[in-house]
Amino acid sequence: MWGLMILSPHGALFTSFVDTTQDYSAFISVFPPVGATLAFMLTETALFLGYTYYVDAQTVAATEEQLVDPTFKPHVLDNLDDDVKAERDRTHNDETSLTAPLRIERLRKVFPPKRVGKRSVIATEDVSFVVNTGEIFGLLGANGAGKTTTLSMLTRHLVPTSGNAFIVNHSILSDFSKGATHLGVVTQV
């Protein structure tokens, strides 16, 4: 029972239940006392939670520069509609876009294949647009176009493969906590 208690908080919880429900001294000669079981349970819970927090924080670790995807092929942008090309140009070249409350620049997300030998899934391909003050903006597209993935990257539920987005000039990669105070997302009405 000592080994079970030491291995995990669940083992400590099980040991404490067994210890308090009935007398098993005929089967188990050395039983951990309830105080030791509770101490192990609290200590292990704190350690496991700390480790979980650390691992989670590492997955969204901030970076100061825009991410670059080496697998991106720029020729995919040749077939864009004229209005999409104009919005991309405005996003990347217009000085007024730098002061926009929301600016998304070359945001891209590639999901790795689920099985060996399969292809990666490109969820968003170099998404760029600006939402100005007082503007009502709708993100429209067919099923699988990348709308939800784009919003998930904007809210940092997903880390972009490349690109960046700026909420009131705060990068979602390096300064998300300040930008997030200006962000509200309603996915359905």
Q: What is the mean pLDDT of the chain?
A: 80
Indicate the pLDDT class of residue 113, thresholds 50, 70 and 90. confident
Mean pLDDT of 122-143: 88
**Nearby residues of 110 by Cβ (< 8 Å), 6 or more positions away:** 69, 71, 120, 121, 122, 123, 161
- Of residues 89, 91, 120, the one with CA closest to residue 105: 91
Mean pLDDT of 90-116: 86
Mean pLDDT of 108-128: 86
CA angle 155/169/132 to nearest 5° reads 85
Q: Is the pLDDT of residue 50 over 90?
A: yes
Mean pLDDT of 145-168: 90
**What is the rounded distance in angstroms from the CA atom of residue 157 to the CA atom of residue 89?**
28
pLDDT at 74: 80
Which pTM value belongs to this model?
A: 0.61
Sign for the pseudo-dihedral over CA of 162, 167, 168, 171: negative
Q: Which residues pair with 67 in a beta bridge?
A: 163
CB–CB of 110/123 below 8 Å?
A: yes
